[in-house]
Amino acid sequence: MATTNLSAYDKSTIPSGEKLNIGIVVSEWNAEITENMCKGAIETLVDCGVVQHNIIRWDVPGSFELVFGCKKMVETHHLDAVIAIGCVIQGETKHFDFVCEGVTKGIIELNLKYNTPVIFCVLTDNTKQQSIDRSGGKLGNKGVEAAITAIKMADIKNIDNTRDHIGFLNQ
């Protein structure tokens, strides 16, 4: 939502990131935006206990390439979650629609194929100002939100399948 600060989180409600290995794949396109989101993600991961050397970062040329970058990262590293960071800003052609749809579907497919959550941290804004506002501006930083999501999804991924989940949740 346009009025939600993306950086607000209650650390007491977030599982420890102490034992997690997190991957981040960052689009070089709109680097002013994606670098801010990556910085926010890394700072938040570390704040929540993830050890700096357990965070792997790869860069790809654009948002469309995020899907392949995340796929290779999942296949070549033992990770608890991967964050895909990109920014696509509406232009005068349909290119925006094709890129946004391709990245969205690609990340969905990765989440269905692999047992490693891939977090969608791709801004799809109408203007550059909207992206600035969501990457460390007046609305916070989507990278922070993605880091919290990665930790929470890694926690779900790592649930011991031998536990009684319903009983565990009700305790």
Cα 31 → chain centroid: 16
Catalytic residue flag (residue 53) = no
Helix (H) or strand (E) holding 47: helix 31-47
Instruction: Report the pLDDT value the prediction gives residue 97, as an integer from 0 to 100.
Output: 82
| Active-site residue, from 53, 78, 95, 165 | 95
Residues 122-171: pLDDT tens digits?
999 999 999 999 999 999 999 999 999 999 999 999 987 545 445 455 44
Nearest to 32 by CA among 120, 132, 121: 132
Q: What is the pTM of this model?
A: 0.90
With cut-offs at 50, 70 and 90, classify the pLDDT of residue 24: very high
**Domains detected in the chain:** 19-170 (3.40.50.960)
Query: In sequence order, which residues have a C-beta less than 8 Å from that of residue 99 and are 6 or more positions away?
Result: 62, 63, 64, 88
Residues 74-128: pLDDT tens digits?
999 999 999 999 999 997 778 888 888 999 999 999 999 999 999 999 999 999 9
